[in-house]
Structure 1
């Protein structure tokens, strides 16, 4: 099995009601995220830093295996 690159990004916005949003990668590209691709709580907060992988779909790239990174509080 080929290795999959883990990426770091920041949640641009996420609507719990709609169940989707966007993550901004370090290079500025926005990636679609659906709640089904989130590990754990299935809810993300704006500005939250996350780790994820990208899955290529016919409708474009989407974030999968999205996991919030620990905060330094």
Structure 2
């Protein structure tokens, strides 16, 4: 007597395959039965209310607001023009080496120490003088330019 070629494992795999096939057929028939063909356009539309929520009811025309396109801001706000006079800072010279040609100015508003080079001077300065200056950012940090004495 020969042993059957169908083992228990083969039978189980075949049952699973047939069950999967049947489930697929059932889902297909269910989709066909519940298909939305022939729905009215109004049934398919969705609306957004004033709070940004999606609803099925159309918005109330009495609550409608008009918005000017100029009022819509996209991106970064425009900066207002800066008054050149406000860029001029004042401070006192805390250190200045005439031999080497550099020093530092302490800004009166921010109390920051700003580097100054002899090439950026409009008038001669010495330690303790009150000066007015502009600040320029350099790779090594802020640097004073257009430095002149203040009376």
From the CA coordinates, give the structure whose radius of gyration is larger: 2
Stretches of structure 2 lacking an aligned partner (at least 5 in a row): 1-81
Q: Which runs of 4+ in 1 moved over 4 A?
A: none
**1:67 partner SS:** strand
- The two structures have a TM-score, normalised by structure 2, of 0.42
What RMSD over aligned residues (CA atoms) do the two structures have, in Å? 1.6
Alignment-derived partner of residue 60 in structure 1:
141
Stretches of structure 1 lacking an aligned partner (at least 5 in a row): none
- Where is the strand percentage greater, Structure 1 or Structure 2? 1
- Where is the helix percentage greater, Structure 1 or Structure 2? 2
- The two structures have a TM-score, normalised by structure 1, of 0.84
Alignment-derived partner of residue 18 in structure 1:
100
User: Cα offset for 1:45?
Assistant: 1.3
Higher relative contact order (CA 8 A, sep 6+): 1
